[in-house]
Amino acid sequence: MSGFGFTGDGFGNEEGKGVPDLGALFTQLGKMFSGEAGALPESTIRDIARGQLGNDRYIGHIDLAEVTEALNLADLWINDTTAFPSALRTPKAWSKADWVESTMAGWMSLVAPMSKSLTDGLTKTLTESQVDGIDLSAISSGPLAGVFQQMTGMLLAQQVGGTVAAVAKITTGSADTSLPLAADGVAALIPTNVNEWGEGLGIEMREVRLFLALREIAGTRLLAEVPWLRGRLTDAVTAYGSGIQIDVQAISEQAMDVMNALQEGADPRSLFTPATTPAQELALTQLETLLALFEGWVNHVVHLAIAERLPSHVALEESSRRKRVSQNPTTTVFQSLVGLEVSPRLSREATHFWNVALELKGLEGRDELWSHPDLLPAALEMQDPAAFLSSTSAPDDLSGLDPA
């Protein structure tokens, strides 16, 4: 990333002339940001997300009964298609607002390391920077550094809050993002979004609900049985954040207009620019591959569960493929946070990889590949699954391998 980009013409100086009035800037920032320096304000993320949800509705007893029935049946069907045991302890029917509230802890665990990486980078940049001849090193450890760090946290909170709202509007469950956002043992559907997902398909809503419940159950089982996934996903986001370079000169020239823009509701995502460093590109490539493997595995095991059971499975799977191109919750998350869009082609290749893995290794051997990240293919290796699978096998003892 070339810089922490801001738009505007500076500190309020006419035509950008003269030395910036740092005192005025810090006074305004001090009014806007309060609390622990560098903290990512969870309350701000929650408030922004809930404020952007739009139409939502109360979840009643009928909703809960229908969702519970679908999740329990899906759990039974998935037993036949994976070696991973059931992880379902608490079936839930959520409104969009319930989804925001119930996944907030998961969001914070994902983005808090990125926030720390950004604020650490800002402190380092301040230590080494001058703005129009003004040495900023003296404020890198003082109270003014906290103001800059609070600004970074607030900008990221604005972005994350908007992302959470965008996902809540389209996701159908707790694991639809390929992320461990909900509490352990929870599987959930959002009836409002499930109904919207099934509109116009000409398929009974009970079958639509069951299909989406199967995807939810498959995703939650994988997240429950692959403990290194959470760390890998968080590490990839953190690695991206650690490569962001903070352009203090741009901040000094344009920060006042940024504050005004945020107060007026401007989209803070425009303040973040795409990754450009080799380290960031590597992190994004690895992340995209892992997310594609996750989605491909879910596609694969759900197909096995419904191919002989649901006459509408072809239409449901085709609809899922189309919708995950245009309204993919996983892409919504990572495109906003790190500029990553998971390639539909890569997801198709991942689904094919798991099909071949089942043929060559059987059900347990296929799932054993998730026991360590080193046993999974890179993006290019997915293009020839048979060659990759013939050259790798899970060792009897994995204790010497570090999944981190």
Report the pLDDT value the prediction gives residue 245, as an integer from 0 to 100.
Answer: 54
Three-state DSSP state, 188? strand
Parts of the chain with a pLDDT under 70: 1-39, 117-149, 241-276, 393-404
Strands 186-189 vs 90-93: parallel, antiparallel or unpaired: parallel
Question: Which of 146, 156, 154 minimizes the C-alpha distance to 122?
Answer: 146
Q: What's the rounded Cα separation, in Å, for the pair 2 and 80? A: 50
Report the pLDDT value the prediction gives residue 11, as an integer from 0 to 100.
Answer: 33
How many residues in the chain? Answer: 404
Report the pLDDT value the prediction gives residue 105, as an integer from 0 to 100.
Answer: 94
Q: Nearest 5°: CA angle at 53, between 114 and 74? A: 85
Report the pLDDT value the prediction gives residue 14, as an integer from 0 to 100.
Answer: 39
- pTM assigned to the model: 0.80
Report the pLDDT value the prediction gives residue 282, as an integer from 0 to 100.
Answer: 82
